[in-house]
Amino acid sequence: MKTRVLGASDLEVSALGLGCMRMSFGDKPTDKKEMINFLRQSVDEGVTFFDTAEVYGPFTNESLLGEALSSVNKDKLIIATKFGFKHSAQGTGPTPNEGFDSRPAQIKRVAEESLKRLKVDCLDLFYQHRVDPNVPIEDVAGAVQDLIKEGKVKHFGLSEASADIIRRAHAVQPVTALQSEYSIWWRDIEAEILPTCEELGIGLVPYSPLGRGFLTGAITKSTTYDKGDIRSHNPRFTAEAIDANQAVVDLLIRIGQQYQATPAQVALAWLLAQKPWIVPIPGSRNLARLRENNASTDLNLTLNDLSDIASAMANINVVGNRY
């Protein structure tokens, strides 16, 4: 596996990370033993960058990584986790439905609990999961800075933040990475966010780089989802949207035929070709799929390919909001 450095930091990670959310959240249930084995296999396949969050589960995703990777030399691994959602009054943990909570005291409490669940002495990358409109971003950055000074966090990250928020946070505590949705069919961050990251030396970690599975070409109008799967109520996964957006997959198939590559590999290679400090985190729970994704790091699209894709996408109207 090739490696990349996130922005101007010294944080070197595998060129593709692994999004772990669906191992215990937002999809049909999985077998814990199978996921532990898969996580260890992913390390053997060269993955060194793992993405989780306290809200995934809640809590169970961090605990899963902590258990799975406890026997692995963590000096070679980078585990990113997140804070920022309000904890339920019923004590069931954080949930997006409860709202945001990035008060400094809450950030520090979450960090302590994440350290325990992940079984580490220091959090490699600590993201604010979503911007809290009730807490100044300067206070958030200051709280993470305190944790960095205490040796409990190494790097500060933001997720789905605006260019203004990024700049304000970065002025207090340098931001190492921004996590935002970005893919060949969701490119809204290109106007302001990408230039801001490049200017400030901030790495980009795209989530949903395969369009929640759609860009793999495996999803059709007849595909069904468990009621807990977030795609079951996603506007881009209605039968009408799937039919309309097939043009994107057809484009990926056409480009891939030149290289004997799958649509997923072309979609990931396209992202990797945008900037050298971009590190996508496709989610996977299957070794064959992981290997397919990882092979995209060896697919070098030409300038003609990228121009061809850009021209084609300019004439494709993607149907359906992302949420």
Does 90 fall in a domain? yes
Is 225 annotated as catalytic?
Answer: no
Does 213 fall in a domain? yes
Q: Give the separation between CA 188 and CA 182, rounded to whole angstroms.
A: 8
Check residue 272 and report its DSSP letter: H
Does 293 fall in a domain? yes
Mean pLDDT within 158-178: 98
Domain residue limits at 41:
3-314
Greater pLDDT, 177 or 29? 177
Q: How many angstroms separate the Cα of 113 from the Cα of each of 108, 269, 289?
A: 9, 36, 32
Does 118 fall in a domain? yes
Mean pLDDT within 56-82: 93
User: Within 10 Å of residue 140's Cβ, how many Cβ atoms?
Assistant: 26
Residue 220 pLDDT exceeds 90: no
Mean pLDDT within 15-29: 92
Does 320 fall in a domain? no
Mean pLDDT within 4-8: 97
CATH number at residue 148: 3.20.20.100
Does 305 fall in a domain? yes
Report the percentage of the chain scoring pLDDT > 70: 99
Q: 8-17, 90-99, 211-220, 245-254 — which is least confidently predicted?
A: 90-99
Q: Give the separation between CA 253 and CA 261, rounded to whole angstroms.
A: 8
What stretches of 35-77 adopt beta strand conformation (E)? 49-51
Catalytic hit among 56, 127, 182, 207: 56
Q: Which residues fall within 8 angstroms of residue 313, CB to CB, at 6 or more apart?
A: 184, 185, 248, 251
Greater pLDDT, 45 or 97? 45
pLDDT mean across residues, the chain: 95
Number of domains in the chain: 1
Does 181 fall in a domain? yes
Q: What is the pLDDT of residue 54?
A: 96
Q: What is the pLDDT of residue 90?
A: 64
Residue 161 pLDDT exceeds 80: yes
pLDDT band of 300, cuts 50, 70, 90: very high
Q: What is the pLDDT of residue 93?
A: 83
Residue 92 pLDDT exceeds 80: no
Q: What is the pLDDT of residue 91?
A: 65
Q: What is the pLDDT of residue 37?
A: 97
Residue 11 pLDDT exceeds 80: yes
- Residue 149 CA, distance from chain mean position: 26
What stretches of the chain adopt beta strand conformation (E)? 3-5, 12-14, 18-19, 49-51, 78-83, 123-128, 153-159, 175-181, 203-207
Residue 228 pLDDT exceeds 80: no
Does 321 fall in a domain? no
Q: 30-39, 60-69, 137-146, 228-237 — which is least confidently predicted?
A: 228-237
Q: Give the separation between CA 185 and CA 313, rounded to whole angstroms.
A: 8
In the chain, % helix, strand, coil (3-state, to 5) comes to 45, 15, 40
